Amino acid sequence: MPLLRALCRLVRLPVSAMVTLSAGFGYMLVRPMPDAGLGLVCLSTFLLAGACSIVNQIQERDIDARLSRTANRPLPAGEVSVSVAFGLAGACALGALWGFLRLAVPVLPWLAGAIILLYNGLYTPLKRRSGFALLVGAIPGAMPPVMGWLAAGGGKADMGILIVYAVYYLWQVPHFWLRTERDRHEYERAGLPLPILSLGETRYRSVLRLWFHAYLSCILMLPLYAHMQTTSMRITVTLGVMALFFVSGRTLRVTDRRGSAFHLVNVSILAVMALLLADRLLPVAG
């Protein structure tokens, strides 16, 4: 049981579950009613996220050992050997490849390989050199909804999924920056660059507000381009974003409210997913 718990922590269940939820969300934007394909794309995405997470922890086990938030992870804590972790990562990657091949969408296995290369091959090493590595890491990080969309038969160049991809890409920056800001002193002691350390407090706050407002502006495009079918949902999205514009300016500007800002960022993306899915499901139920 201790080994099983350690292996579950290697795949970072909460993170992998959120990635899986994103892929399922993309699938249901095309096919609102659950089917076998939804289960297969969710399983494949979960295994892919698990493989990326394990390889990432192998690559960063020395850094994880220096941060209190990650020091108890299985590899720095000595609960699992690197060879066992590699074996589990390989099994997850092969399982993900099998699932994506079963979906019979030729582009999906290639996208899965590109995600691994970008996330583990480029983004993870770049984190040691630049506080802005996330601008690269967010590229594969925003792919799960697109993979779900494609698995369900959605078009590759559809404006709706391109806007959804942009929303996910832009969301990751304030989400990650606000989370790391809480541990900035540990990151600094570990020698890891952060945007707040590179830019300084004042410029960092300005860039963070600008990026979050770009994210909100992108959400405002969803009622126009994401094939929303119900007027009530289009109005709800628009009014919700306008309210976030009003609240976020103060929340992101005041240092002691950054915890609230972090939760605001995360709740906003969940609300976007819920409203878009409701827009798809309400006509079906009716």
- In this predicted structure, what is the pLDDT of residue 87? 94
Which of 49-63, 68-82, 243-257 bottoms out in mean pLDDT, i.e. has the lowest? 243-257
pLDDT (mean) for 235-256 = 77
The more confident residue out of 247 and 79 is: 79
Alpha-carbon gap, residue 51 to 85, rounded angstroms? 9
pLDDT in tens, 100-124: 999 999 999 999 999 999 999 999 9
Tens digit of each residue's pLDDT (9 = 90 or more) over 85-96:
999 999 999 999
Residue 193 has pLDDT above 90, yes or no: no
Q: Please give the pLDDT value at position 209.
A: 87
Residues 160 and 227 sit within 8 Å (Cβ to Cβ): yes
pTM for the model: 0.92
DSSP the chain: -HHHHHHHHHTTHHHHHHHHHHHHHHHHHH--S--HHHHHHHHHHHHHHHHHHHHHHHHTHHHHTTSTTTTTSTTTTTSS-HHHHHHHHHHHHHHHHHHHHHTT-THHHHHHHHHHIIIIIIIHHHTTT-TTTHHHHHHHHT-HHHHHHHHTT--TT-HHHHHHHHHHHHHHHHHHHHHHHTTHHHHHHTT---HHHHH-HHHHHHHHHHHHHHHHHHHTTHHHHS----HHHHHHHHHHHHHHHHHHHHHHHSGGGHHHHHHHHHHHHHHHHHHHHHHHHHHHH-
Residue 284 has pLDDT above 80, yes or no: no
Q: Per-residue pLDDT tens for 127-152? A: 989 889 999 999 999 999 999 999 99
